[in-house]
Amino acid sequence: MKYAMSARNQFEGTITKVQEGAVNGIVTVDVNGTPVSATISMGSIENLGLKPGIKAYAVIKATDVMIGKGRLELSARNQFPGRVTAVEEGAVNGLVKMEVLGGNTVTATISMGSIRDLGLKPGVDAVAVVKATSVMIGI
């Protein structure tokens, strides 16, 4: 069951790892064989009872998804290679939909200038990138 919310990217999976820190922790959710990492507060990890084996959702707003091409060396933990399946053009921004690893679909809201500069259109290979701090976890 997906949540009724404005965030376009909601991925159901199973928590495989919780790395605890003093203030924040990193929660990894396996989504159809693709790991999605989220940096969240230890308070949230404890309040939600997050631990390996728990079913959870990784939730990402489309405005937090960046798109790149080629091999990217970045600090962002979540890099999902795939192929553009659709581009919806707007006056300033557009929506780019990609099929990525594990058959997941990721939607990004990026500028029309970036869409043109990167040559994004259906069939083009690209990489969706999301910082772990932009991933929310729900159960």
User: What are the boundaries of each domain within the chain?
Assistant: 9-60+133-138, 62-131
Query: What is the per-residue DSSP string for 58-75?
Result: EEE-GGG-EEE-S----S
Q: Measured between alpha carbons, how far is 130 from 5 in angstroms, rounded to an integer?
A: 19
Q: Measured between alpha carbons, how far is 70 from 73 in angstroms, rounded to an integer?
A: 10
Domain 9-60+133-138 and domain 62-131 have a common topology = yes
| Residues 6 or more apart whose Cβ sits within 8 Å of residue 43 | none
Q: What is the pTM of this model?
A: 0.93
CATH fold of the domain at 9-60+133-138: OB fold (Dihydrolipoamide Acetyltransferase, E2P) (2.40.50)
pLDDT of the residue at 2: 72
Residue-level pLDDT, tens digit, the chain, 139 residues? 677 888 899 999 999 999 999 999 999 999 999 999 999 999 999 999 999 999 999 999 999 999 999 988 999 989 999 999 999 999 999 999 999 988 999 999 999 999 999 999 999 999 999 999 999 999 9
Summarize pLDDT for 31-55 with one digit per residue, the tens. Answer: 999 999 999 999 999 999 999 999 9
Q: State the average pLDDT for the chain.
A: 96
| CATH architecture designation of domain 62-131 | Beta Barrel (2.40)
